Amino acid sequence: MHIVLVEPEIPGNTGNIARLCAATGCELHLVKPLGFSVDDRYLKRAGLDYWHLVTIHYYESFSEVAAQYAGRNFYFNTTKTRQPYTSVQYTADDLLVFGKETAGLPAEILDSNRANCVRIPMLDDARSLNLSNAAAIVVYEALRQVGFPDLR
């Protein structure tokens, strides 16, 4: 399973997601520009001593990720759809895509992938969830569906 962060801005969120990847075996894909340096102390602190367990890939654009993983299932997490994340049948090689904290995923990505857009249900007055919380919710549902491979 793969977690793709498109232009993440907050180092602590990315660090928490890296820790999630370390605990679950998911690979982390970071699409630039990043809103922080990968040497950022908050990023390192959030990941604590798990960094050696994380496989991280860096890309200049989302189109690089799409090209490299053509033929795989991509699921785009957004508040701009009605399809709940639980309605999808995940597989072990899927890519779960999340946008930046302040704006979500770019419209051009969402517009060209409407059928694969999913959301976490929440109250109408809530704008969004924290990025690392959202990633954990979706990742664990996807892993549950595929039987928690290699997890005990």
Q: Is residue 6 part of a domain?
A: yes
Q: Is residue 102 part of a domain?
A: yes
Q: Is residue 74 part of a domain?
A: yes
> Domain span at residue 14?
2-145
Binding site, annotated residues: 99, 120, 128
Residue 96 pLDDT: 98
Number of domains comprising the chain: 1
Binding site, annotated residues for S-adenosyl-L-methionine: 99, 120, 128
Q: Is residue 33 part of a domain?
A: yes
DSSP states of the chain: -EEEEES---HHHHHHHHHHHHHHT-EEEEESSPSS-TT-HHHHHHHTT-GGG--EEEESSHHHHHHHTTTS-EEEE-SS---BGGGS---TT-EEEE-BTTTBS-HHHHHTTGGGEEB----TT-----HHHHHHHHHHHHHHHTT-TT--
Q: Is residue 150 part of a domain?
A: no
Work out whether the CA dihedral 144, 28, 32, 73 comes out positive or negative.
negative
pLDDT profile of the chain (152 residues), mean per 10: 97 91 96 84 64 92 98 97 97 97 97 97 91 98 96 91
Residue 70 pLDDT: 97
Q: Is residue 65 part of a domain?
A: yes
Residue 46 pLDDT: 56
Angle at 74 between CA 18 and CA 62, to 5 degrees: 70
Look up the CATH number of the domain holding residue 78: 3.40.1280.10
pTM above 0.85, yes or no: yes
Residue 3 pLDDT: 98
Q: C-alpha distances in angstroms, 134 versus 39, 50, 109, 151, 152?
A: 24, 20, 19, 20, 22
